[in-house]
Chain A
Amino acid sequence: MKPWSFFLWYLCSVVSATFMEDAFVRDWLKPLVGSVEKFDILSPLSIVAWTDLSQLVKLNVEENNTHVDWRVDLSQKPIVDYKLSPNNQFLVSYDSNGDVDLWETSTGSLIQHHKNAGLVEKNPGFLYETGIITLSGGDLVLLLNNGDRKLIAPGVKDFRFCQQTDLAYIVTNHGDVFTVSADGSTISPSTVGGHDIKYLEIIDMKDGVIATTSEFIKLESETTIAHSFHEKVGLLSNGYFYTAIGSKLEIVKIGSDVPVFTHSFEEDIKNVETKDSVAAFVAVYTATDVHIVVLNDLLITGVSDAVNIQTHSLNKAVKSTISCNDHIWFVEAHTTSPTAIRLASSSQDYTDDKTIILDHYSGRSFLLVDKPQSEGSKILFHSVLNAGDQFVLTSWLLRIKRHLSELGAYLSSFATHSVSPATSETFSRESQFGLGKLLAFYDTQINSVIALESESGKVSWTTSLQRGFGDLITAIDSNDVLYFVFESGVVKFDLNGKILKEETLPLVRSAFKVNGNVFVRFANSKNVKVLELSKDSSQPINYLVEAGKQSITGFEVKDEHLMQTWSHIPKGRIITSLSMPSYHQSASAGIARSDKTILYKYLNRNLVAVLTEVKNQLVLELLDGITGSQVFIQKHDVANIDYTTISLTMADNWIVYSYYVSEPYWEQRITVVDLFDENHSAVAQSAFNSTSAIQASSKTFIYSERIVSLTSTYSKHGITLKSIIALTANGRAVELPKFILNSRRIDDREIKQNDLLDDFRMLAYDPVIPKVGAQVLNHVDKILVTRDTKVLVKDTELESTSVVCVANDFNIFCSTIQPSLSYDVLSSKFDKFKLLVTMAILLVAYLITKPFVASKKLNSQWIEDDI
């Protein structure tokens, strides 16, 4: 064998590849584009649309796979309208601020931005694709191209525009004709062959021809052809025009009175549409149908036999438009649903009629919950729980039986799946390690509760509410039950979407969960109602803290009645407040230092953090929710803070909040406060007799992006590291490890060996948090972020892994995070086959050498005996 073949064999053995479809499967982003207000067809498989969420989107409408190719969020711009270029390659949008933007439709990238170009008062025209002719700024006709702004005609109230080969013509309301060449030079103003053009008499203008009520004017040759019109008329090219009289459509050659094509429809013609540029078709609208009259062969050859007519019913369309691309013609119409587009297309060879359903949710009160357990899982759980109570042999027999039934179920489901792949949607094995969650929310638009699968984004279930209970107040999950609390009622769901109970209530103010009990608080009284009572009766007294805009008030819940216990009115304005999340677990009581002493954490789960503004000072106050006592206060220096940007999160023994400062520098700051307890008590204490003495440390960091929201991660047992998910205004969900945001980082001296041992991954203080690409969760898609964006975190059965979802009106994004890396999950690179082969080789080696060893031992025995 040749040496190069060995090299080739070696290369083949080390090469590995991943399909693109398998890559980036850990996360998904579902863009929510809203309901379409205007749209145009770019190609048979793509449309560009403007939605009510102020988004310009390009949709790919492949069969059964409608997805967003790109989208541009223009919610900051009061967009007036947009227009496509004749060849569909560019799109111009203009807003009421006077900005005009040119976009490339294939990529959604901004090609030209003309700031303050004046309020566009008329749909602009395209000059050689990238030149934009606008009537803006009151009375100016402008040519915008590649950042240049050229005045073509001042004092104009209206204009008409057409293009013919290498020249463009603009006719103003004064009757002046401006000829614009490809390089933008203008031949100004001229009359056509000594004729005065009466602007109000112009019916149509296309391909260098003006049709007025009395004549055709050919601009290039400066000739006129007399003709009188009485009915609907329009130009098709510089050689043909159409007229519609009653139910009859005629195509006539300019300069001739004899039609080259005539067709009578069954109903009267209501309207006729063509394209702005040279039209290869006309769309003839009658009361119930639209007829596409295909003319491209007629316009080229002049032979009327080539005309083809295709008819589509309009049904109950509320809006329709028409477009063409090469040899395919489209008629599209909104159907009754605002999130559906009917797209009927036809060519000379085929017709197609499909309805595209867009993903659109108006979600409120998002909950990230576990998937419902299967019966098998419940049996497994109970059998494991009760295994210790049974006789050993009985447990063993039950275990064998369960394993055999699981194996049988798996094999039968696998066989079913392989025999009928069509049922693959319904075949789903139970989520491994609890990595699959349900993202449940209330959709205000369709009055339904929807649950999406966190792993795939597919809808798990949708349950419509038959009754209206007013606005949604909040949603709470407790013991595999979801409570959606409305102004005047509550609806209880199980995790399969089944409504367990609907109940009408007096006007509800809020709902809360404490000690496993779920309550609703009524608006006009201090009464509460128990929705769910915990089985654990060890905590008879429940407490409630209401954090309002002016004050923080504490209550004791007793016999479905609230008794006020304390109230705290801060000196300044309350910006935001937050409580310690009750579902976070803390595995460690403290931090072991290098000198083997312990820094005990202050882990008060009743802590309430309040951020207030007092005379341009940001103040953090920490209150005990039971007693109302102020346990800590921190004041920042006077600064010019944008108080609308403040975000707060807390977990374990720390509080992290972010705020944007505009002076002395534009800075996004993140402040971390770690709380420690100097008098740690190992036994449970009452808040009223607590001996804790807080020792706090604080540091402020700077991040290079504007932060909109902060959330802390957590895991099942609280053993692994925690991270802070920072959602930035640029649409990135960034995972910042807590050990970076450590308030104990050394800042006043050189870091020493003992400092490094004082905490996990202790570092010297550096105020700037570096941007690390690997920390960005949504590295593929950008998240459109709003102030009310929710970042939800849920633990899984794996201590290393948590599920993260980001949800708002514009998009839903889900992913998994592993702050301590995937130590409890086998890497995807783990080679099970190699392991099995190694084990097999070792087994064979053992079996082969066994007789030799036995023989050697026997021989040695004989030799010893001989001696």
Chain B
Amino acid sequence: MHSEISNPDVLSPKACKKPLSLPPGFVDTASKKKVAPIGPKKQSAAQVDDLKMKKAWEIAVAPAKGIPMNLFMSYMTGNSLQIIPIMMTFSLFWNPVKAIFTETNAAFTNLWTEKNASNIILAKVAFVICQIAAMSVGLYKFYKMGLLPTAESDWLAWKAPMRIVEMCAVVVQ
């Protein structure tokens, strides 16, 4: 009874005696002309340099993008001297330092050309500045936690006690 629904007869257009009308709005371009495949355009060297500089600046300012989040996290963790906040703050301080010394050249090596060398140096400087900015969040956090020896009392152990040159003996009679 429902065999036509469950097993319909599928016919190709050619097998049809009467040509099938196309659905409304459908244009059969494939059958009329052959379109050449779309491939990558050949970029000019100038365009490549532009792209490389764009990428270099993206890398340079990337550390600065994390600063708001780090500030927020620092605020949320408070200034109490506990091992987890101290370790987090240490990573805030140490990761930028490490990045400055290990990633400054490595990150820009593939983007360097003879033409954009001077611009790459600027990007590196910007990278370092951004890393220092990120590091300063950690430093500020250390300061707020009281772990930076900035006050006079932090150097109390090195301060000489009051000393009077003369000395007397006392005999109680």
Q: Spell out A's residues near B (CB within 8 Å).
A: 510, 512-515, 519, 521, 539, 541-549, 554, 576-579, 582, 586-590, 592-593, 596-598, 600-606, 608, 625-626, 677, 680-687, 690, 692
Contacts and interface: CB of A to CB of B under 8 A. Distances in A.
B163 A625 contact: no
B151 A596 contact: yes
B162 A592 contact: no
Given A579-B170, A603-B162, A682-B159, 6 more contacts: A512-B170, A546-B170, A589-B159, A590-B159, A603-B163, A605-B167
B164 A512 contact: no
Given A577-B172, A596-B154, A606 B160 contact: no
A598 B170 contact: no
A547 B152 CA distance: 40
B173 A548 contact: yes
Contacts of B152: 596-598
A606 B166 contact: yes
A684 B163 contact: yes
B164 A545 contact: no
Contacts of A605: 164, 167
Contact of B161 (A582, A589, A592, A606): A589
A592 B160 CA distance: 14
Contacts of B164: 604-606, 626, 684-687, 690
A578 to B, nearest CB: 7
Interface in B144-173: 146, 151-154, 156-157, 159-173
B165 to A, nearest CB: 5
The 8 closest A-B pairs by CB, nearest first: A579-B170, A596-B151, A543-B168, A592-B153, A514-B169, A512-B169, A625-B168, A589-B161
Interface of B: 146, 151-154, 156-157, 159-173
B84 to A, nearest CB: 21
B161 A608 contact: no
Given A590-B156, A597-B153, A510 B166 contact: no
Contacts of A684: 163-165
B72 to A, nearest CB: 25
Given A590-B156, A596-B152, A682-B160, A687 B165 contact: yes
Contacts of A547: 170-173
Nearest to B149: A596
A588 B156 contact: yes
A545 B170 contact: yes
B173 A510 contact: yes
A518 B170 CA distance: 13
Contacts of B151: 596-597
A542 B161 contact: no
Nearest to A586: B161
Contacts of A608: 170
A543 B154 contact: no
B9 to A, nearest CB: 55
Nearest to B150: A596
Contacts of B163: 603, 684-685
Contacts of A519: 169
A578 B166 contact: no
A491 to B, nearest CB: 20
A601 B162 CA distance: 8
A515 B165 CA distance: 11
A542 B156 CA distance: 31
B171 A545 contact: yes
Contacts of A554: 168
A514 B171 CA distance: 11
Contact of B162 (A521, A542, A549, A604): A604
B168 A589 contact: no
Given A682-B159, A684-B165, A593 B171 contact: no
Most buried by A among B164, B165, B170, B172: B170
B36 to A, nearest CB: 41
Contacts of B161: 586-589, 601, 603
A602 B162 contact: yes
Contacts of A600: 162
A598 B160 CA distance: 13
Nearest to A545: B170
14 contacts: A510-B173, A514-B169, A515-B167, A543-B167, A554-B168, A578-B170, A592-B156, A596-B146, A598-B156, A600-B162, A625-B168, A677-B162, A682-B160, A684-B164
Contacts of A626: 164, 166, 168
Contacts of B159: 589-590, 598, 682
B170 A625 contact: yes
A560 B161 CA distance: 32
Contacts of A604: 162, 164
A684 B164 CA distance: 6
A519 B170 CA distance: 12
Contacts of A692: 162
A690 B163 CA distance: 10
B146 to A, nearest CB: 8
Contacts of A685: 162-165
A563 B146 CA distance: 54
Given A596-B151, A598-B152, A598-B153, A589 B162 contact: yes
A546 B173 CA distance: 7
A600 B163 CA distance: 12
Given A589-B156, A596-B153, A544 B168 contact: yes
Contacts of B156: 588-590, 592, 598
Contacts of B167: 514-515, 539, 542-543, 582, 605-606
A545 B165 contact: no
A687 B162 CA distance: 11
Contacts of B154: 592, 596
A578 B172 CA distance: 7
Contacts of B169: 512-514, 519, 542-545, 579, 582
A606 B160 CA distance: 17
Contact of B168 (A545, A577, A677): A545
A682 to B, nearest CB: 5
Contacts of A686: 164-166
A680 B164 CA distance: 12
B165 A681 contact: no
Nearest to B164: A687
A590 B155 CA distance: 11
A380 B22 CA distance: 110
B165 A546 contact: no
B153 A687 contact: no
A605 B167 CA distance: 7
Contacts of A596: 146, 151-154
Contacts of B157: 588
Contacts of A677: 162
Given A684-B163, A687-B165, A593 B153 contact: yes
Contacts of A681: 162
Nearest to A680: B162
B166 A512 contact: no
A598 B157 CA distance: 11
Contacts of A576: 172
Contacts of A512: 169-171
A596 B151 CA distance: 6
A757 to B, nearest CB: 10
Given A598-B153, A687-B165, A589 B160 contact: yes
Contacts of B165: 539, 684-687
A539 B166 contact: yes
Contacts of A602: 162
Most buried by B among A539, A546, A596: A596
A579 B173 CA distance: 12
Nearest to B153: A592
Contacts of B166: 539, 541, 543, 606, 626, 686-687
A512 B169 CA distance: 6
A543 B172 CA distance: 14
Nearest to B162: A603
B160 to A, nearest CB: 5
A1 to B, nearest CB: 43
Contacts of B170: 512, 544-547, 577-579, 608, 625
